[in-house]
Structure 1
């Protein structure tokens, strides 16, 4: 049931070529922008009760990529801006806290 709420693989592939081909392992820096766009898409969705869960999953992936690249400061700035932009979405902030994304 949860899979119905997720963008289809085809939709993601059209907008983000290579997203499902392990690009994050071979070219991690090239996946930062697509991951950020996916987070924005999930947060902009309405009527999808899993949107915060999916967004947090992608933010965690971004954190891993930034750690591997040695750009933790950039991730911290992104996360701070994301939290500030969505400060009224308390459920999202709770999920970010539970995922240790502070």
Structure 2
């Protein structure tokens, strides 16, 4: 159990740091820290529900944020990134559920 907590902590800190580096140029420092902490909590706690698949959802959200930010603007990019994180997380949970029920 200790190793799972360690992995979740590393994932939370790593995703928070990556998020901070990505959103820092677009937001004030306080808001960038808030977004990073929120993302870290979602990824860290999501690890216990959908195991490693949360990392793929996080990476998809970061790529979406970067692409949408370049095309439209920061607000639309933040909403799109959050939506992709939620959608990919739910899709990963459904995939994991389906694979475990058909074993």
Task: Identify whether the pair has TM-score above 0.5, normalized to the shorter chain.
Answer: no
Greater length-normalized contact order (CA 8 Å, ≥ 6 residues apart): 2
* TM-score between the two structures when normalised by the length of structure 1: 0.33
Task: Return the index of the structure with the highest Cα Rg.
Answer: 2
* TM-score between the two structures when normalised by the length of structure 2: 0.33
More helix by share: 2
